[in-house]
Amino acid sequence: MALYAYKAMNSSGRTVTGRLEAINPIDLEMRLKRMELDFITGDTIKQGGLMNRATITRQELINFCFHLEQLARAGVSLIESLTDLRDSLENPRFREVIASMVESIEGGKTLSQALAEHPHTFDEVMVSLIRAGEDTGALPQVLNNLLESLKWQDELAAHTKKLIMYPAFLGTVVVAITLFMMIYLVPKMAGFIRNMGQELPTQTKILIATSEFFVGYWYVVLGLPVILAAIVAFLVSTSKAARYRFDDAKLRLPYIGDILRKIILSRFASVFAMMYSSGITILDSIKATEDVVGNLVIKEGLEKVGSLIAEGQNVTAAFQTAGMFPPLVLRMLRVGESTGALDAALANVSYFYNRDVRESIEKVQAMIEPVMTVTIGLLLGWIMMAVLGPIYDIITKMKT
């Protein structure tokens, strides 16, 4: 299908514009007619650009699942539910996606097939769960599970941002203070110190040399980190090997790496439990969650787990061989597997990690503030000693 930018007229005579997927202009006109719109003009839009990707937030997906789940429980037909949702959406791109889904379902496709036509909006996990709900006749329950999972993922994303943004903010403050001192404050003091006409201490010489480097090569100090970040981003986006090393390096960071691993495994356990409880096989559940983790190192571990299970190992033994979970979690999985309640065990794993992540983030934040304070204090102390040292020496000589 091609994406068309159309202009049409509604029943009240007002001109409306938008975008809609269609096979050709005739198909576009028919689709608009079913939306009670009279076709005027339509031009194709080239696919693949960043502007054509589905820029749909997780909050909008939460509202989508909540809307469908409530109306499904109330007995409203799927097409009516989607049509009502389409007309109430503010995001034009999401409205186009829903309109396309309505057309697909009216053409005889199922909800999961309509979702699968928009992979940039609805991931493989959601499509698989909806398909399982359709097969088992438990679509409202699956939608409710998806709703709770998306809410939890939104909370988890907030924890992740909190973990990254707080140190980044404090680090920026420290860098800004350092630049101010080295580029503005120290040069003014250096002129005064040189005019004293005495031999400067080593620490004062180092401070002045550092300040002169900052003043003379400020573009290197400011530009080098940006260039390095751009190079790393380019390599990560174009090379799988570089992406793997970068993901591995993130997991090896002191304190933060351990928390990131817990966040990833918590996300995996939650989605895996939801898919398994919906009737999807273990191997299919693991395969679908490989892209959910967002880390090539963990993804490689999950691929290893899947291959071990396919060879005949049980779930606990496979995870133990892959070395992904600590002993406590493995014991929880072993109990769940032996009692036939693996989905409940996985949900407990997710809860365990989620609680651990919150506590770990609070500890890191409590530790970052004094570390940054000490760093600024040491920097200020160094500058004061380097500046006041020569002045103190002159005062001492004058007294003697």
In this structure, the number of other CB atoms found within 10 A of the CB of residue 207 comes to 24
**pLDDT tens-digit profile of 229-285?**
899 989 988 888 899 999 899 888 887 788 888 888 887 887 888 788 777 888 888
206/124 Cα distance (integer angstroms): 58
Measure the CA–CA gap between 208 and 390, rounded to whole angstroms. Answer: 13
Q: Which residues contact 133 (CB under 8 A, 6 or more apart)?
A: 139, 140, 141, 142, 143, 278
- Record the pTM: 0.66
Q: What is the pLDDT of residue 49?
A: 41
pLDDT of residue 346: 79
pLDDT digits (tens, 9 = 90+) for 98-132: 888 888 888 888 888 888 888 888 888 888 888 88
pLDDT score recorded for residue 54: 44
DSSP state of 303: H
pLDDT at 392: 67
Q: How far apart are CA 271 and CA 150, in angstroms?
A: 10
What are the mean pLDDT values of the chain's consecutive 10-residue runs (400 residues total)?
Answer: 77 78 76 79 62 65 87 84 81 82 84 86 83 81 84 77 75 80 78 69 79 84 88 89 90 83 81 80 82 83 88 86 80 83 80 80 77 80 74 63
- Give the per-residue pLDDT at 7: 84
User: How many Cβ atoms are within 10 Å of 77's Cβ, its own excluded?
Assistant: 11
What are 345's two structure tokens?
Answer: 């065990």
- CATH class of segment(s) 58-152: mainly alpha
pLDDT at residue 51, rounded to an integer:
38
Burial class (CB in 10 A: 0-12, 13-18, 19+), 132: buried
The pLDDT value given to residue 50:
36
Angle at 352 between CA 348 and CA 358, to 5 degrees: 140
Compute the chain's Rg from CA coordinates: 30
